[in-house]
Amino acid sequence: MKLEVSIGAQLGDFALDAQFAAEGGVTALFGRSGSGKTSVLNAIAGLLRPSRGRIALDGEPLYDAQARVDLPAHRRRVGYVFQEGRLLPHLSVRQNLLYGRRFAGRSGEGELERLVSLLGLGALLERRPQDLSGGEKQRVAIGRALLAEPRLLLMDEPLAALDAPRKSEILYYVERLRDELGVPIVYVSHALDEVVRLADTLVVMSEGRVLESGAVGETMSRMELRPFLGRFEGGAVIEARVAEHDLEMGLARLEFAGGTLYAPDVDALVGERLRVRIRARDVSLALAPPESISMLNVLAGKVAALGEPSGASVDVQLDVAGTALIARVTRKSAAALRLAPGLPVYALIKSVAIDRHSVGWA
Amino acid sequence: MPLTPAELEILGLSFKVALASALASLPLALGLAFLLARFEFPGKMLLDGLVHLPLVLPPVVIGYLLLVALGRNAPLGAFLADHLGVVFAFRWTGAALASALMGLPLAVRAMRQAVESVDRRLEAAAATLGAPPLAVFASVTLPLVMPGVLNGMLLAFARSLGEFGATITFVSNIPGETQTLPLAIYSLTQVPGGDAPAMRLCVLAILLSLAALIVSELLLRRARRRAQGA
């Protein structure tokens, strides 16, 4: 799957001007509300007509202003899971699930059964949408979109209306879609933990424009991006492999290019590849390897760049054997340690700072 | 208190006229409802006003205009009679036409409200599932406006049961042909000794109207329940 988006549109006072490309897996459109994420999804689905540009799926144009191509929504075969579910209220769950089948020219219960078991919908089939909980509605909406056999699945903040337990429930199912069905997904979110857990490609949007796009790890570590991600949440993402579980201590040993990382409560098997987000504020720096300290993770690297100071703190980009990390330290410490590009340092990371929300499957 | 054959005939005719008028006005009312709810065009206010006119105009005006337009000697009436074999003047079909016109604003209002309350995002969702526009209309829009359509027809039906002025002016008061319930009551009040039979018919009229309104309210409630939490 290759999705190319390069569109412009004027929506009232709001100017949309978005360019990005994505290949397979999960592409996250990330940004604050009002940044134009949903408008991009609507344009891909054919529910919003841009005024210029081109949208192509595997080289086939869905919209091309110059060539005067504008495929109507029903002929795009692009599935859409809306924030509010949008199940048809006059139909049962089963009828909702099968709605797109007749237009896809398919019938047969085989595919239905597979998705019903994948999404855990067995007990809901004869129910009405108004009798479902929020999480159940979203699962049905996902199943309905997939049964229409889309080439691409769009998901618009499918977790926004749900409480925390329901969120992790749906996230689990979305991961299964990605891993078991191999459906390419464009996933809109303003929650960084969802993005880290799911996405391969990250597209960061602000005020109708794409600020950055690319592989999730690289994009997140780019310095200029972090003020936008928020002071609290900014950081780097590293890809690691589960090497060993210390069941007695409840710790997992993760190996990555830059060394070893201990993380608690990792819910993955040995050998599985994970994506771990390390927030800049959880990383400390030292000039020599410290002794007798509680921090388990001590990584040797060097300073790659210093960011713009902000208040009392400054962000330091590190190069740990090729892997990018970011540390947020006070300006006072930066001056005391004489931090400068090229200086060898040790990055210290508390294991307990890496929680369940920071870890996702790669 | 069994009904007499005369009363049964009056009742049967009233039902026939009301049913015919509700059914006949359905396509026009639904079309107008969609037009007014979904489209912007020049003259929309004027059309809206015209549709509502029977609600405020004296019914006798409607009846008289119908008589002028569709009487046997009127050009249009003669044309319809000669070429299509359709005669409205002094026939029950004329009574149905008159009450259809009088009930049209009620039907259009109920249906328009139903069309406006359809969540268009559901139609968009259906399109992303591969449904072409006509299929979206048939499988999403129409089922969702159905309670409103039924309600509109019921209101038109009930309005027709009570129609008097336009009917008596257009098709007169002919027992067995155009003498519906209100017209029969009127006739009875004009003759000595008609009070008791008139009162019986009044009770019938009250029961019928009440039943229609209750069914209409039940339909509305069901529609509202459906629309919630979807």
CB count in 10 Å sphere of residue A337: 16
Per-residue tokens: A340: 């400068």
- Contact: B125, A82; criterion CB under 8 Å: yes
- Contact: B229, A129; criterion CB under 8 Å: yes
- Contact: B127, A103; criterion CB under 8 Å: no
Helix (H) or strand (E) holding A4: strand A2-11
- Contact: B128, A74; criterion CB under 8 Å: yes
Give the pLDDT of residue A359. Answer: 73
Rounded CA-CA distance A200/A207 in Å is 23
Is A321:A301 a contact under the CB 8 Å cutoff?
A: yes
Q: What is the mean pLDDT of residues A127-140?
A: 91
B185-206 pLDDT tens trace: 999 999 998 899 999 999 999 9
Q: Which of A74, A90, A145 sits opposite B143 (nearest CB)?
A: A90
For residue A295, the distance in angstroms to the closest alpha carbon of chain B comes to 50
How is chain B split among helix, strand and coil, in percent rounded to 5?
80, 0, 20
* Helix residue ranges, H only, A260-351: 331-336
**SS3 for A248?**
coil
Q: Is the pLDDT of residue A99 over 70?
A: yes
Per-residue tokens: B92: 């029950």
- Contact: B131, A100; criterion CB under 8 Å: yes
* Interface contact A80, partner B, CB < 8 A: yes
Is A325:A285 a contact under the CB 8 Å cutoff?
A: no
Identify which has the larger pLDDT, A269 or A221.
A269
Give the pLDDT of residue A313. Answer: 86
Per-residue tokens: A264: 């608690």
* Interface contact B75, partner A, CB < 8 A: no
Q: Which of A47, A88, A103 sits opposite B130 (nearest CB)?
A: A103
Q: Is the pLDDT of residue A319 over 50?
A: yes
* Interface contact A346, partner B, CB < 8 A: no
Q: What is the mean pLDDT of residues A185-200?
A: 85
Is B212:B154 a contact under the CB 8 Å cutoff?
A: yes
Lowest mean pLDDT among A180-184, B103-107, B126-130: A180-184
Q: What is the mean pLDDT of residues A14-29?
A: 91
Q: Which of B131, B144, B230 sits opposite A87 (nearest CB)?
A: B230
Is B188:B201 a contact under the CB 8 Å cutoff?
A: yes
Rounded CA-CA distance A289/A345 in Å is 8
Q: What is the mean pLDDT of residues B126-147?
A: 94
Residues on chain B touching A80 (C-beta within 8 angstroms): 125, 128
- Contact: B130, A74; criterion CB under 8 Å: yes
Q: Which residues pair with A96 in a beta bridge?
A: none
Query: Does pTM surpass 0.80?
Result: no
Q: Which of A46, A75, A86 sits opposite B122 (nearest CB)?
A: A86
Helix count and strand count (H, E) for chain A: 10, 21
- Contact: B126, A45; criterion CB under 8 Å: no
* Interface contact B139, partner A, CB < 8 A: yes
For residue A95, the distance in angstroms to the closest alpha carbon of chain B comes to 11
Q: Which of A41, A44, A57, A74 to mutate to test the interface with B (most CBs of B within 10 A)?
A: A74
Nearby residues of B108 by Cβ (< 8 Å), 6 or more positions away: B29, B32, B33, B36, B51, B152
Q: Is the pLDDT of residue A19 over 90?
A: yes
Per-residue tokens: A212: 């950055």
Rounded CA-CA distance A30/A187 in Å is 8
Residues on chain B touching A89 (C-beta within 8 angstroms): 122, 144, 226-227, 229-230
* Interface contact B130, partner A, CB < 8 A: yes
For residue A113, the distance in angstroms to the closest alpha carbon of chain B comes to 19
DSSP class of A179: I
Q: How confident is the model at residue B230 (pLDDT cuts 50, 70, 90)?
A: very low
Tokens 């399109």, residue located: B127
- Contact: A145, B129; criterion CB under 8 Å: yes
In 3D, which of A240, A231, A263 has the Cα closest to residue A250? Answer: A263
Nearby residues of A68 by Cβ (< 8 Å), 6 or more positions away: none
For residue A140, the distance in angstroms to the closest alpha carbon of chain B comes to 12
Rounded CA-CA distance A108/A101 in Å is 9
Which residue does chain A place closest to B143, by CA atoms? A90
Average pLDDT, chain A: 86
Cα Dmax for chain A: 70
Rounded CA-CA distance A96/B50 in Å is 41
Rounded CA-CA distance A272/A261 in Å is 15
CB count in 10 Å sphere of residue B12: 11
Give the pLDDT of residue B229. Answer: 43
The torsion region of residue B3 among left (phi > 0), alpha (psi -120 to 50) and beta comes to beta
Residues on chain B touching A46 (C-beta within 8 angstroms): 127-128
* Interface contact B134, partner A, CB < 8 A: no
Q: Which of B121, B128, B145 to mutate to test the interface with A (most CBs of A within 10 A)?
A: B128
Give the pLDDT of residue A357. Answer: 67
Helix axes B142-161, B195-227, angle to 10 degrees: 170
Interface of A with B in 45-74 (CB under 8 A): 45-47, 72-74
Percent with pLDDT over 70 in chain B: 97
Is A41:A188 a contact under the CB 8 Å cutoff?
A: yes
Tokens 């090497």, residue located: A243
- Contact: A90, B125; criterion CB under 8 Å: no
- Contact: B226, A144; criterion CB under 8 Å: no
